[in-house]
Structure 1
Amino acid sequence: MATSTRRPERREQPLSRERIVEAAVELLDTAGEGGLTFRALTERLATGPGAIYWHVANKGELLGAATDAVVAAALALEPAAPTAPTAPTGHAGSPQEGIRAVALGLFEAIDAHPWLATQLSGQLSRSPSGPVAPRIFESFGRQVGALGVPERDWFTATSVLVHYVLGAAGQNAANAASARALGPEVDRAEILGTVARAWGDLDPDDYPFTRAVADQLREHDDREQFLAGVDLVLTGITARLR
């Protein structure tokens, strides 16, 4: 009996850099950084490697573009020229609400894309002049300026927010990845319960604080705790203004 191999669907529109980046994000979400290869891209896009290399030079450039695309979507910002920090845009309400919105957008993007935290950390350290770092700093910095922070303190205040948000969101993503590695039969409540019991059994003389917060660990909500941390940072910034 004759068999046939299913061919990739023919593309109806010309290949673009945007479509390549979109496909790269899809591969990263499903297969991780190791699964993002130009061979996998050519199969997914039903094209040849030459067509992809016309738009993207190498994997490093592709990872950078994918990271920037996800961050831009999370911040709901177009890649346009920056505006003055004293004129916040993109978020209605107070500067505090704008900062929470930016922070939550990044938190949820990192949670939804397990590969993003590592890429953000690498790009902010290796390529601070690339598009990702200015995009994140601009989003927070506009709101920091609108809070009334003196210009001499803009960089420090914004850096504190960026470090907290990316650090906390990255740790949350790492925790989620560790939980997934244990298998679908193990849920978050079970993991937290195990850790809480271990904390509760610590020596009371050596770990009085850790024992005291064991039940809070068991019951905490990651998203609420993250936003509470943002509020603590904002409280410190506004207290200095007073």
Structure 2
Amino acid sequence: MKAWICDAFGEEPQWRDVPDPVVQPGQVLIDVAACGVNFADTLILQGKYQKRPSGPFSPGFEVSGTVRAIGDGVTNVKPGDAVMAMPDWGGYAEMVIADASLVIALPDGVDVNDAAAFQIAYGTSWFALKYRADVKPGEIVLVHGAAGGVGLTAVECAKLLGATVIATAGGADKCQIARDHGADHVIDYKSENIRDRVREITASLGQPKGADVVYDPVGGDVFDQSLRCVA
């Protein structure tokens, strides 16, 4: 098969022929249709991610495709099924192996590109908002970087949980993207002070002390401003 292979951390991946992977018990072999592109892919290529492959490797943490073969003991999918999966790495290839517990059959009609880009960004936001912050209906959630991958999914997940969403983004175009994805209020951090605007917006909503939950994939000065506008 063909794959994008990185021979050593810090080197650019090369498109080359490599041996086909061999499925083992508890594993699924997938013909890759699409693979997501994430910040973690840049980290693993530099050797800065928490998982560090030994020897030549292919990046790629989330894929969609069709099951080619299954190992002994696999019961959740079968050859021919359309699936999405989260291998440790290796998605930038024509085929990839994933643990069966991290392979999910796709419902009919789900686009392979949507499926490939779904798991990490939405998984991150849903876990953070539902299982860490435990967002409740009626709460005010402040989402930073709302035009980026995890930011946009955080806006949508917070709305699904019944929250009022204040989104921050840089520039009119990015602010509009946040609005289009459901943000109730938008702050352009390039021209507005986040702390002051959050206090103004929450006061207009009857909660002058600030936001209940802050979702911050940005950090730095944005984090400092967030601490000053938390209820």
Same fold by TM-score, threshold 0.5 exceeded?
no
Q: What TM-score do the two structures reach when normalised by structure 1?
A: 0.32
- The structure with the larger Rg is 1
Higher relative contact order (CA 8 A, sep 6+): 1
What is the TM-score with the length of structure 2 in the denominator? Answer: 0.33
Q: Which protein has the bigger strand share?
A: 2
